[in-house]
Structure 1
Amino acid sequence: MKTTLALLVASLATAGLAHAADDGRAIDLNALSPTPEAIEQALAAKSKHDRGQANDRHDRRDRGQTKADEPEPKACTDAAITDDQKTQIEAAAFTAKKEQIQQKADLKIALMDYAQTVMDQTTDKAAAEAASQKITDGATKLVSGHLALANNVFYDILQPTQRKNAFLCLVAKMKKHHKKNRHN
């Protein structure tokens, strides 16, 4: 979700740069690759910490609890993932994370190239469309990488009988993560 959000913010930043270029205003190329912190600040005017609410991690630490004390969703227990499978999943996730880092870098470069193309008065629409296609390709690679990891885990590492509960476990953990990290 954050990746999709970052792409959206970057696309809007690119459109803002094009508009600024038309108006003759100064352009900040750093706006093409917003940091996660900048995205968080743009989406939530004030974080939980700013509103005087400590986050869950600090609350647990203050009570002497750890993340391990939280109950595991039933589907995670029912999936019965072995230690060997956990090791294989961690290795696959590590490899996927390395690829994702490279893909994100390629996408940022494509966004910068697009901005440079749009700001150059000598380029034509075909050049802009070619540069925008690189952005689309980069975003597609990023999303397909996530799906490839999931398919690898569900179909190559886990047994067919584990698949349903492992998927339900993933969904439960994602819901818990998103609920915990919402900024209201």
Structure 2
Amino acid sequence: MFIDIRTSLFAIYLFLAGDSSALSNWSYADNPSIAILIVLFSLLVVVYLMNLLIGLLNNAIEEDNNRVSYLIQKAEILAEIELFYLLPHQRRWQEWFPEVIHYYADADKTRIEIERLIKEGEWDNREFIKMQEKLLEELQIKHNPIDNKVILEKLSALEKLEKLEKIDEKLEKLDKLEKLEKSYCENLDKLKKLDEIEKLLKEIQAK
């Protein structure tokens, strides 16, 4: 395979994949240099380059995380400035604080996010109802809050919890009644014993 440049490149690709059949024509005992080259190739290409690729990916991820933390810190500083370091007339400037902010949102990503919220039961939050209806119409998403399975499951779970709470309350009341009955019976026994003692005392005094 090493006669032609194309087959030699393919042999190197196979060697990267773990297939060393291209070197089967040479014995390692008679050609120790081939064994040394194989070891060096595995160390340099497989180990070193793969670790280098992993390091580059880690650096890219850290840069993204640094970007996110930078934006969060920037938002916190701006919020602090708006709250504590602006004069009243500056807070009324329309250029700085407009009543309406327009922004661009991708339709496909918005549709995916809305469908996810509907599946998880977080879409029907009773806020911005008209805006939600317009979004559903524009994105052509069919949604009936009455037939939402997640909401129905939550309602059934709430009903079960309410029933369990009522059962617990009834059990507590029964326990209290049982305790009252026991105390009442004990008091009756004590009264009977007191009556018997009084009768005995009267008999003793009569004698």
TM-score (norm 1): 0.22
More relative contact order in 1 or in 2 (CA 8 Å, sep 6+)? 1
TM-score (norm 2): 0.20
